A and B are shown apart, each in its own frame.
Chain A
Amino acid sequence: QSALTQPASVSGSPGQSITISCTGTSSDVGAYDYVSWYQQHPGKAPKLVIYDVTNRPSGVSNRFSGSKSGNTASLTISGLQAEDEADYYCTSYTSSNTYVFGIGTKVTVL
């Protein structure tokens, strides 16, 4: 099972919007609406920010939003803030009844 493809890094200035892509195949991202996104600060456990493509858990800022088109899912962070600087990982359910993570994207706030 190959890891989902994410850009190694994305950057933006405070207040801007950025989008992180997560590309899989027709056997994972493209086949199911079971994509979730995680934010991870250095030395910390990951934190769920989006599940089932578009759903935001209680307590997560509405600046985080998710979407999907074909084999690519996306996480958008609007109104970028310094605290958003972290690593972000996507994950998807697969046709093999397993789960695969993306390689991770480092978000830098300029």
Chain B
Amino acid sequence: QVQLQESGPGLVKPSETLSLTCTVSGGSISNNYWSWIRQSPGKGLEWIGYIYFTGTTNYNPSLKSRVSISVDTSNNQFSLKLTSMTAADTAVYFCARGGGWWGSWGQGTLVTVSS
């Protein structure tokens, strides 16, 4: 049973870059798609994007200019970078296995944008 765990800062200043890492355990990161999804407080879910283990990516057009997802197969991790953070980016960020449906999720990490 694969497990995912997000890690990164819980507080980011406006205009700064968010960097989150998802560590995959109990299985290999190879031969799978891996995604980031977020949920603003009290709101619904928003797909951010996915990466295939080979490095191929696909991003939400509304975030495409600010988002980057990378993979580190040697450490069984994948990462999210989101630049120019604003209060609107305050959310719980989830990492998940899959590209189009997501069968395994991390517990989520709350990221607050505030000075």
Chain A positions within 8 Å of B, measured between CB atoms, are 1, 3, 34, 36, 38, 44-48, 51-52, 57, 89, 91, 93, 96-104
Contact = CB atoms under 8 A, between A and B. Distances in A.
Nearest to B58: A97
A33 B94 CA distance: 24
Interface of B: 44-47, 58, 60-62, 94, 100-103, 105-108
A14 B1 CA distance: 32
A36 B105 contact: no
In the A-B complex, list the 5 residue pairs whose CB atoms are closest, starting with the nearest.
Answer: A45-B105, A36-B101, A51-B101, A99-B47, A101-B45
Instruction: Determine which residue in B44, B45, B47 has the highest number of CB atoms from chain A within 10 A of its CB, and name it.
Output: B45
Contacts of A34: 100-101
Nearest to A4: B44
A51 B96 CA distance: 15
A36 B106 CA distance: 18
A47 B100 CA distance: 14
Most buried by B among A34, A45, A91, A102: A45
B44 A101 contact: yes
Given A3-B44, A89-B45, A101-B44, A45 B94 contact: yes
A104 B96 CA distance: 19
Contact of A93 (B62, B100, B108): B100
Given A46-B102, A48-B102, A101 B60 contact: no
A34 B101 CA distance: 8
16 contacts: A1-B60, A34-B100, A36-B101, A46-B102, A46-B105, A48-B102, A51-B101, A91-B101, A93-B100, A96-B61, A98-B60, A98-B61, A99-B47, A99-B60, A101-B46, A102-B44
